[in-house]
Amino acid sequence: MTRLRSAALVGNPNSGKSALFNALTGARQKIANYPGVTVERKAGRLVLPTGEPVELFDLPGSYALDAASPDEEVTRKVVLGEFPGEPKPDVLVIVLDAANLEQHLVFAQELIELGRPTVAALNMIDLAERDGLVIDAAALEQSLGIPVIPTVAVRKRGLEALLEVIESAEVHAEQDPKDHRRAHLTLPERRLAARHMANGAIISENAVHRLNARLDKVLLHPWLGPPILFALLFVIFQAVFAWSTPFADALDGAVSGLIDLANASLPAGFARDLLTQGVLSGVGSVVVFLPQILILFAFILVMEQSGYMARAAFIMDRLMAYVGLSGRSFIPLLSSFACAIPGIMATRAIADPKDRLTTILIAPLMTCSARLPVYAVVIGAFIPATSVGPGIGLQGLVLFALYLFGIVGAMVAALVLRRTATKGAASGFIMELPRYQWPPLRDLVIGLWQRAWVFLRRAGTIIFSVTVVLWLLLTFPQAAPGESQVEASFAGKIADGLEVIVRPIGFNHEIALALIPAMAAREVAVSSLATTYAVDASNDDAAAAGLVPQLQARWTLPTALAFLVWFVFAPQCLSTIAVARRETNGWKWPVFMLAYLFGLAYVFAGLTYWLAVAAGL
């Protein structure tokens, strides 16, 4: 008889919890949200030495059970078994940073006082050794009264021993429940006890973290730090374009191959057209951007896992303070470059409610990866691939300018919002700067895999269905001979209405058409254009030539530029609106967000168009 037991990893932020979770569960993870809140719920399965499976949870990092943020609130409730619908974990696995014992033992004592089956992982013992610390795990085990296992999650050291104590922890607890009735200490008492225990467990110690201090001396240097950060951001955006090209071309070739194969092997008719013109050209045109999205996420993950992200927040804090935010907003905003949804969810780490609301409202102005397909196609079609300096391509520069435009727009928006809609006290900034470490390859791969999966699932569901619906709207009713299919279709009629509004800012009929399905997901704009032009193409050769020549033939440069600027501001993503609604508990702020972003998009796209036309472009 096997009983599914559950265990939870608990500990301070920066204790290497997630790395340990990845090492224990491998790729067998389920990432979802806790019901009602948007705190990420990470569950996985580990197998005990007996072969018994255990459900393992990775709880948000906390400094104490006395919660100061929604994240910590979840940890407290799950640990105490007060979270509705969540199992109370049978075993608590405290994750301690071996090099930061005095701090981490404070929360550990609070957890042990609960009297539950508890074990501890003395994690990142290798980094402690690097810092010149030698720690006696047995002494710590004695003073804490629970099993303490030294582990190095990234090298899978100590995992088997940890599994063994998890397995026996519950048994022990059942045998002598009285043993766990401990006195409850106050915070200063716990702190004092933590210092004694840490001192007792540290056998030898030489000067404080040298490597760390040396790196910080450069990376947090008042004059070197900011240029290094901005140079890194510039390299990221250049890399997103340059490195991805061969992979994107390969994917593009594969999609074209599939279209040719379908055309050659299937009988002509409705089903074949739906497959080639609808599904393959629509979904295919979005999937080719997977390499770019993965490269961007790879940089963000490396920055997070290496400990540099917190330094970036430190450097950015003062600049953010000018617009009424703090360095804490930098991390959600940088994540929003990948996708506004994890970005908005990451705002939970911001304690101040006004600060958090402002960050949520401006997060969609950060150019998310869904806009990358749109930018990439239009830049590829209209901006020549010339070099404007050593290693600096014009296309990359335009892309960088678009990102910068979004950032500046966001800063100005924050400044205005903090003085009007989200007026409140100035925000603070308190944040631990974790020690630097080499980003573990396994955690990087797992992180990238999860991002790729989310993107492909979107491509397989939302983008797939939107593309098919759009194709149907474009195909029916059938045009009379001599009439344009797009003009005759249902979609053409809808776009006629919208076109009246967007014509002044230089948008043509096809763009008006693409804006409708782009509400579901921004990148659909590309597949919509691809589908529209594929349906409209007079012959198969034109359709097979792809989207870029079609755009070059049908759009002017001012229209293309206005289209790019529109996407800097337009909040075209239903998922973002939905997440904003959930995070702000109501429709008031999402509606406000929609209105102000569409307003900005219209005005700035218009200005771009009129100025470009006036300049004779």
Among residues 99, 362, 374, 511, the one that binds another protein under rule CB under 8 A: 99
Q: Does the footprint of another protein cover residue 456 (CB under 8 A)?
A: no
* Cα distance between residue 276 and residue 259, in whole Å: 6
Nearer to another protein, 257 or 428 (CB): 428
Interface residue with another protein, options 213, 235, 401, 501 (CB under 8 A): 213
Residue 220 is a binding residue for another protein (CB under 8 A)? yes
The two structure tokens encoding residue 587: 């429709």
> CA 570, CA 612: separation in Å to the nearest integer?
20
Q: Does 191 bind another protein (CB under 8 A)?
A: yes
Q: Check: CB of residue 376 under 8 Å from CB of residue 289.
A: yes
Strand 133-135 versus strand 202-205 pairing type: antiparallel
Write down the least CB distance from residue 241 to another protein, Å. 30
Q: Which is nearer to another protein, 5 or 311 (CB)?
A: 311
- Give the type of residue at 613: V
- In the complex, minimum distance from the CB of residue 368 to another protein, in angstroms, rounded to a whole number: 27
In this complex, which beta carbon is closest to another protein, that of residue 192 or of residue 574? 192
> 326-338 as b/e, with b when 16 or more CB fall inside 10 Å?
bbbbbbbbbbbbb
Q: Which of residues 117-146 bind another protein (CB under 8 A)?
A: 131
Give least dist CB 139 to another protein, A: 18
Determine which residue in the list 1, 32, 174, 223 makes contact with another protein, applying CB under 8 A: 223
Closest CA to 42 of 30, 54, 53: 30
Among 51, 84, 85, 188, binds another protein (CB under 8 A): 188
Whole-number Å distance between alpha carbons of 542 and 432: 57
**Does 63 interact with another protein (rule: CB under 8 A)?**
yes
Task: Report how far residue 87's alpha carbon sits from residue 488's, in angstroms, rounded to the nearest whole number.
Answer: 57
Strand-strand pairing, 53-58 and 5-11: parallel
> Is residue 596 close enough to count as binding another protein by CB under 8 A?
no
Segment lying near another protein (by CB under 8 A), choices 40-48, 222-230, 246-254, 383-391: 222-230
Instruction: Choose the stretch contacting another protein; rule: CB under 8 A; options: 22-30, 82-90, 134-142, 306-314.
Output: 306-314
Pick one of 429, 471, 533, 569: the residue that binds another protein (CB under 8 A). 429
Report the residue number, 266 or 319, with the smaller CB distance to another protein: 319
Taking the complex as a whole, the smallest distance from the CB of residue 247 to another protein amounts, in Å, to: 38
Q: Are strands 5-11 and 91-97 parallel, antiparallel or unpaired?
A: parallel
Contact 393, 437 (CB under 8 A): no
Q: Is the peptide bond before 477 cis (omega within 30 degrees of 0)?
A: yes
Q: Does 186 bind another protein (CB under 8 A)?
A: no
Choose between 405 and 436: whose C-beta lies nearer to another protein: 436
Least distance from another protein to the Cβ atom of residue 444, Å = 24
Least Å from the CB of residue 100 to another protein: 5
- Which residues neighbour 247 within 8 Å (Cβ) at sequence distance 6 or greater? 290, 291
Q: Judging by DSSP bridges, how do beta strands 53-58 and 40-47 pair with one another?
A: antiparallel
Q: Determine if 313 is a binding residue for another protein (CB under 8 A).
A: yes
Measured from the Cβ of residue 528, the count of other Cβ atoms closer than 10 Å reads 27
In 3-state terms, what secondary structure has residue 125?
helix
| CA dist., res. 283 & res. 53, Å (int) | 38
Stretch that binds another protein, among 218-226, 254-262, 478-486, 520-528 (CB under 8 A): 218-226
Token pair of 292, please? 């770019």
Closest approach of another protein to the CB of residue 312, in Å = 11
Give the residue, chosen from 171, 425, 614, 615, that forms a contact with another protein under the rule CB under 8 A: 425
Alpha-carbon distance of 317 to 325, in angstroms, equals 8
Residue number with CB closer to another protein (99 or 551): 99
Cα 497 to Cα 509: distance, rounded to the nearest angstrom: 10
Q: Assess contact for 541 and 260: CB atoms under 8 A.
A: no
Site mask for another protein (CB under 8 A), range 225-254, x = bound: xx----------------------------
Question: Which residue's structure tokens are 């467990």?
Answer: 201
Position among 73, 304, 317, 523 found at the interface with another protein (CB under 8 A): 317
Give the span between the Cα atoms of 229 and 223, in whole angstroms: 11
Q: Which span (211-219, 331-339, 457-465, 593-601) binds another protein, by CB under 8 A?
A: 211-219
Contact at 8 Å (CB) between 126 and 45?
no
Q: Taking CB under 8 A as the rule, does residue 261 contact another protein?
A: no
Measure the CA–CA gap between 232 and 252, rounded to whole angstroms.
Answer: 29
Best CA proximity match to 182, nearest among 214, 212, 143, 220: 143
Contact 45, 28 (CB under 8 A): yes
Residue 308 binds to another protein (criterion: CB under 8 A): no
The residue from 5, 77, 116, 209 that contacts another protein (CB under 8 A) is: 209
Binding to another protein in span 322-351, by CB under 8 A: 326-327, 351
**Which of 29, 53, 64, 412 touches another protein (CB under 8 A)?**
64
Residue 100 binds another protein, judged by CB under 8 A? yes
Interhelix angle 371-382/547-554, nearest 10 degrees: 60
* Three-state secondary structure readout of 176-213: CHHHHCCCCCCHHHHHHHHHHHHHHHEEEECCCCHHHH
- Contact mark string toward another protein, 67..96, x via CB under 8 A: -xx---------------------------
Would you say 215 or 468 has its CB closer to another protein? 215
Site size for another protein (CB under 8 A): 45
If the CB atoms of residues 69 and 575 are measured against another protein, the closer one turns out to be 69
Nearer to another protein by Cβ, of 15 and 285: the residue is: 15
Residues 350-379 that bind another protein (CB under 8 A): 351-352
Contacts of 438 (CB under 8 A, 6+ apart): 306
Dist CA 193 CA 186 (whole Å): 10
What residue ranges bind another protein (CB under 8 A)? Answer: 63-64, 66, 68-69, 99-100, 102-103, 106-107, 131, 187-188, 191, 208-209, 212-213, 216, 220, 222-223, 225-226, 310, 313-315, 317-319, 321, 326-327, 351-352, 425-426, 428-433
